[in-house]
Chain A
Amino acid sequence: DIQMTQSPSYVSASVGDRVTISCRASQGISSWLAWYQQKPGRAPTLLIYSASTLQSGVPSRFSGSGSGTDFTLTISSLQPEDFATYYCQQSNSFPFTFGQGTKLEIK
Protein backbone atom coordinates (compact mmCIF):
# COMPACT_ATOMS: atom_id res chain seq x y z
CA ASP A 1 0.00 0.00 0.00
CA ILE A 2 1.09 3.57 -0.63
CA GLN A 3 1.52 5.49 2.63
CA MET A 4 0.65 9.17 2.65
CA THR A 5 2.33 11.28 5.32
CA GLN A 6 1.23 14.84 5.99
CA SER A 7 3.15 17.46 7.88
CA PRO A 8 2.56 19.15 10.14
CA SER A 9 -0.31 17.37 11.90
CA TYR A 10 -1.33 20.66 13.53
CA VAL A 11 -0.73 24.23 12.51
CA SER A 12 -1.75 27.37 14.32
CA ALA A 13 -2.08 30.49 12.21
CA SER A 14 -3.80 33.86 12.00
CA VAL A 15 -6.19 35.35 9.50
CA GLY A 16 -4.14 36.69 6.60
CA ASP A 17 -1.25 34.28 7.09
CA ARG A 18 0.19 32.11 4.34
CA VAL A 19 0.07 28.43 5.24
CA THR A 20 1.72 25.45 3.60
CA ILE A 21 0.87 21.81 4.23
CA SER A 22 3.05 19.02 2.90
CA CYS A 23 2.12 15.52 1.82
CA ARG A 24 4.63 12.80 0.99
CA ALA A 25 3.85 9.52 -0.74
CA SER A 26 5.84 6.38 0.08
CA GLN A 27 6.26 5.77 -3.65
CA GLY A 28 5.74 7.76 -6.81
CA ILE A 29 2.13 8.60 -7.65
CA SER A 30 2.69 10.94 -10.60
CA SER A 31 0.01 13.63 -10.14
CA TRP A 32 -2.71 11.38 -8.75
CA LEU A 33 -3.13 13.48 -5.67
CA ALA A 34 -6.14 15.31 -4.28
CA TRP A 35 -6.66 17.63 -1.33
CA TYR A 36 -9.80 17.83 0.80
CA GLN A 37 -11.07 20.18 3.47
CA GLN A 38 -13.23 18.95 6.31
CA LYS A 39 -15.01 21.10 8.85
CA PRO A 40 -16.38 19.65 12.11
CA GLY A 41 -19.56 17.66 11.61
CA ARG A 42 -19.40 17.99 7.85
CA ALA A 43 -18.39 15.75 4.97
CA PRO A 44 -15.07 16.54 3.28
CA THR A 45 -15.03 18.72 0.20
CA LEU A 46 -12.66 18.47 -2.75
CA LEU A 47 -10.27 21.39 -3.07
CA ILE A 48 -7.67 20.27 -5.59
CA TYR A 49 -7.25 17.29 -7.90
CA SER A 50 -4.44 16.12 -10.14
CA ALA A 51 -2.08 17.73 -7.60
CA SER A 52 -2.59 21.29 -8.83
CA THR A 53 -6.01 21.75 -10.46
CA LEU A 54 -8.46 23.80 -8.46
CA GLN A 55 -11.91 22.27 -8.15
CA SER A 56 -14.70 24.45 -9.50
CA GLY A 57 -15.92 26.94 -6.93
CA VAL A 58 -12.84 26.74 -4.71
CA PRO A 59 -11.28 30.15 -3.93
CA SER A 60 -8.07 30.96 -5.75
CA ARG A 61 -6.19 31.47 -2.48
CA PHE A 62 -5.88 27.67 -2.45
CA SER A 63 -3.19 26.14 -4.63
CA GLY A 64 -1.46 22.81 -4.97
CA SER A 65 1.86 21.73 -6.37
CA GLY A 66 4.13 18.73 -6.69
CA SER A 67 4.42 15.44 -8.48
CA GLY A 68 5.98 12.07 -7.84
CA THR A 69 6.26 11.79 -4.07
CA ASP A 70 6.19 15.34 -2.69
CA PHE A 71 3.17 17.62 -2.73
CA THR A 72 2.12 20.89 -1.17
CA LEU A 73 -1.14 22.64 -0.40
CA THR A 74 -0.81 26.39 0.04
CA ILE A 75 -3.38 28.83 1.35
CA SER A 76 -2.11 32.26 0.38
CA SER A 77 -4.07 34.40 2.84
CA LEU A 78 -6.05 32.59 5.50
CA GLN A 79 -9.69 33.47 5.89
CA PRO A 80 -11.83 32.64 8.94
CA GLU A 81 -13.67 29.93 7.04
CA ASP A 82 -10.40 28.11 6.23
CA PHE A 83 -9.88 26.81 9.75
CA ALA A 84 -10.53 23.12 9.26
CA THR A 85 -8.75 19.80 8.79
CA TYR A 86 -7.06 19.08 5.48
CA TYR A 87 -6.35 15.67 3.95
CA CYS A 88 -4.33 14.55 0.98
CA GLN A 89 -5.29 11.39 -0.89
CA GLN A 90 -3.63 9.32 -3.60
CA SER A 91 -5.56 7.65 -6.39
CA ASN A 92 -2.58 6.20 -8.25
CA SER A 93 -3.33 2.66 -7.14
CA PHE A 94 -5.66 0.66 -4.94
CA PRO A 95 -6.08 0.77 -2.04
CA PHE A 96 -6.55 4.50 -2.24
CA THR A 97 -5.05 6.09 0.83
CA PHE A 98 -5.38 9.34 2.76
CA GLY A 99 -2.90 11.25 4.79
CA GLN A 100 -3.56 11.42 8.52
CA GLY A 101 -4.82 14.98 8.28
CA THR A 102 -3.59 18.44 9.20
CA LYS A 103 -5.68 20.46 11.60
CA LEU A 104 -5.47 24.18 10.94
CA GLU A 105 -6.31 26.13 14.07
CA ILE A 106 -6.73 29.79 14.85
CA LYS A 107 -3.81 31.39 16.67
Chain B
Amino acid sequence: QVQLVESGGGVVQPGRSLRLSCAASGFAFSTYSFHWVRQAPGQGLEWVAFVSSDGTLKHYRESVKGRFTISRDNFKKTVSLQISGLRREDTALYYCVREGNYHQPGFDYWGQGTLIAVSS
Protein backbone atom coordinates (compact mmCIF):
# COMPACT_ATOMS: atom_id res chain seq x y z
CA GLN B 1 0.00 0.00 0.00
CA VAL B 2 1.09 3.58 -0.56
CA GLN B 3 2.99 5.04 2.37
CA LEU B 4 4.61 8.42 2.89
CA VAL B 5 6.52 8.85 6.12
CA GLU B 6 7.95 12.23 7.06
CA SER B 7 10.74 12.87 9.54
CA GLY B 8 13.13 15.60 10.59
CA GLY B 9 10.88 18.04 12.39
CA GLY B 10 11.59 19.48 15.79
CA VAL B 11 11.96 22.60 17.90
CA VAL B 12 14.47 24.98 16.38
CA GLN B 13 15.61 28.52 17.02
CA PRO B 14 14.91 31.30 14.54
CA GLY B 15 17.55 31.52 11.84
CA ARG B 16 18.60 27.90 12.13
CA SER B 17 18.30 25.16 9.52
CA LEU B 18 16.46 21.87 9.29
CA ARG B 19 16.05 19.10 6.75
CA LEU B 20 12.76 17.26 6.35
CA SER B 21 12.62 13.88 4.68
CA CYS B 22 9.79 11.83 3.24
CA ALA B 23 10.24 8.12 2.65
CA ALA B 24 7.88 6.62 0.09
CA SER B 25 6.88 3.04 -0.51
CA GLY B 26 4.23 0.94 -2.20
CA PHE B 27 4.17 2.57 -5.63
CA ALA B 28 6.31 3.55 -8.63
CA PHE B 29 7.97 6.50 -6.96
CA SER B 30 9.82 7.90 -9.97
CA THR B 31 6.61 8.45 -11.97
CA TYR B 32 5.01 10.89 -9.53
CA SER B 33 5.48 14.52 -8.63
CA PHE B 34 5.56 15.57 -4.99
CA HIS B 35 4.70 18.58 -2.92
CA TRP B 36 5.16 19.84 0.59
CA VAL B 37 2.09 21.38 2.20
CA ARG B 38 2.10 22.93 5.65
CA GLN B 39 -0.51 23.73 8.25
CA ALA B 40 0.15 26.15 11.07
CA PRO B 41 -1.52 25.25 14.38
CA GLY B 42 -5.27 25.79 14.11
CA GLN B 43 -4.95 27.19 10.60
CA GLY B 44 -5.66 26.09 7.04
CA LEU B 45 -3.53 24.37 4.44
CA GLU B 46 -0.72 26.19 2.68
CA TRP B 47 1.14 24.87 -0.35
CA VAL B 48 4.92 25.20 0.03
CA ALA B 49 6.90 23.51 -2.75
CA PHE B 50 6.77 21.16 -5.74
CA VAL B 51 9.20 18.81 -7.44
CA SER B 52 8.52 17.03 -10.71
CA SER B 53 8.88 13.29 -11.18
CA ASP B 54 12.39 13.57 -12.60
CA GLY B 55 13.45 16.35 -10.22
CA THR B 56 14.10 18.91 -12.93
CA LEU B 57 11.14 21.20 -12.25
CA LYS B 58 10.73 22.91 -8.90
CA HIS B 59 8.38 25.61 -7.64
CA TYR B 60 8.08 27.41 -4.32
CA ARG B 61 5.72 29.78 -2.64
CA GLU B 62 7.10 33.28 -2.58
CA SER B 63 7.63 33.47 1.18
CA VAL B 64 10.04 30.52 1.16
CA LYS B 65 12.01 31.21 -2.00
CA GLY B 66 15.71 31.34 -1.29
CA ARG B 67 15.27 29.61 2.07
CA PHE B 68 13.64 26.28 1.18
CA THR B 69 15.02 23.75 -1.29
CA ILE B 70 13.04 20.72 -2.40
CA SER B 71 14.80 17.69 -3.83
CA ARG B 72 14.24 14.02 -4.47
CA ASP B 73 16.21 10.81 -4.85
CA ASN B 74 14.46 8.37 -7.16
CA PHE B 75 16.80 5.55 -6.17
CA LYS B 76 16.20 5.95 -2.45
CA LYS B 77 12.52 6.89 -2.99
CA THR B 78 12.78 9.97 -0.84
CA VAL B 79 11.72 13.59 -1.05
CA SER B 80 13.49 16.22 1.02
CA LEU B 81 12.94 19.80 2.06
CA GLN B 82 16.02 21.68 3.17
CA ILE B 83 15.04 24.71 5.21
CA SER B 84 17.33 27.52 6.22
CA GLY B 85 16.77 30.84 7.93
CA LEU B 86 13.77 29.53 9.85
CA ARG B 87 11.22 32.11 10.94
CA ARG B 88 8.52 31.90 13.57
CA GLU B 89 5.92 31.95 10.80
CA ASP B 90 7.38 28.67 9.48
CA THR B 91 5.99 26.92 12.55
CA ALA B 92 3.64 24.28 11.17
CA LEU B 93 2.95 20.64 10.50
CA TYR B 94 4.64 19.81 7.21
CA TYR B 95 3.01 17.20 4.99
CA CYS B 96 4.69 15.31 2.17
CA VAL B 97 2.09 14.88 -0.55
CA ARG B 98 1.93 12.84 -3.74
CA GLU B 99 0.27 14.38 -6.75
CA GLY B 100 -1.77 12.03 -8.90
CA ASN B 101 -0.92 11.65 -12.56
CA TYR B 102 -2.16 13.95 -15.32
CA HIS B 103 -5.40 12.03 -15.72
CA GLN B 104 -6.07 11.97 -11.99
CA PRO B 105 -4.71 15.25 -10.64
CA GLY B 106 -5.03 16.14 -7.01
CA PHE B 107 -3.07 15.33 -3.92
CA ASP B 108 -4.03 11.68 -3.59
CA TYR B 109 -1.74 10.56 -0.76
CA TRP B 110 -0.52 12.49 2.28
CA GLY B 111 1.95 11.58 4.95
CA GLN B 112 1.13 11.98 8.63
CA GLY B 113 3.19 15.17 8.83
CA THR B 114 6.24 16.32 10.75
CA LEU B 115 6.07 19.31 13.07
CA ILE B 116 8.45 22.25 13.00
CA ALA B 117 8.25 24.66 15.93
CA VAL B 118 10.40 27.75 15.58
CA SER B 119 11.05 29.27 18.97
CA SER B 120 13.86 30.94 20.86
Which listed residue (A49, A97, A98, A99) contacts B106, Cβ 8 A? A49
B120 at the binding interface (Cβ < 8 Å): no
What residues of A have a CB within 8 angstroms of the CB of B105 in the complex? 32, 34, 49-50, 91
Find out whether the CB atom of B104 lies under 8 angstroms from the CB atom of A98: no
Shortest distance between the CB of B60 and any CB in chain A (Å): 8
B67 at the binding interface (Cβ < 8 Å): no
B interface, over-half SS: strand
| Chain B positions 35 through 70: 1 when the CB is less than 8 Å from some CB of chain A, otherwise 0 | 100000000111100100000000111100000000
What residues of B have a CB within 8 angstroms of the CB of A98 in the complex? 44-47
When chains A and B are docked, how far (Å) is the Cα of A30 from the Cα of B100? Answer: 18
Contacts between the two chains (Cβ within 8 Å), count: 62
Tell me whether A96 and B50 are in contact in the complex, defined as CB-CB below 8 angstroms, given that A43-B111, A49-B105, A50-B105 are known contacts.
yes
What residues of A have a CB within 8 angstroms of the CB of B100 in the complex? 46, 49
Tell me whether A87 and B47 are in contact in the complex, defined as CB-CB below 8 angstroms, given that A43-B112, A49-B106, A95-B61 are known contacts.
no
A79 at the binding interface (Cβ < 8 Å): no
When chains A and B are docked, how far (Å) is the Cα of A89 from the Cα of B50? Answer: 15
When chains A and B are docked, how far (Å) is the Cα of A87 from the Cα of B60? Answer: 20
Tell me whether A91 and B106 are in contact in the complex, defined as CB-CB below 8 angstroms, given that A43-B95, A98-B44, A98-B46 are known contacts.
yes
B27 at the binding interface (Cβ < 8 Å): no
Number of interface residues of A (CB under 8 A): 25
What residues of A have a CB within 8 angstroms of the CB of B112 in the complex? 43
Shortest distance between the CB of A88 and any CB in chain B (Å): 10
What residues of B have a CB within 8 angstroms of the CB of A49 in the complex? 100, 104-106, 108
Could you list 15 examples of A-B contacts with CB < 8 Å?
Answer: A1-B62, A32-B105, A43-B111, A43-B113, A44-B95, A46-B106, A48-B106, A49-B100, A55-B106, A87-B44, A87-B45, A89-B107, A91-B106, A98-B47, A99-B44
Q: Name B's A-contacting residues (CB within 8 A).
A: 35, 44-47, 50, 59-62, 95, 99-100, 104-108, 110-113
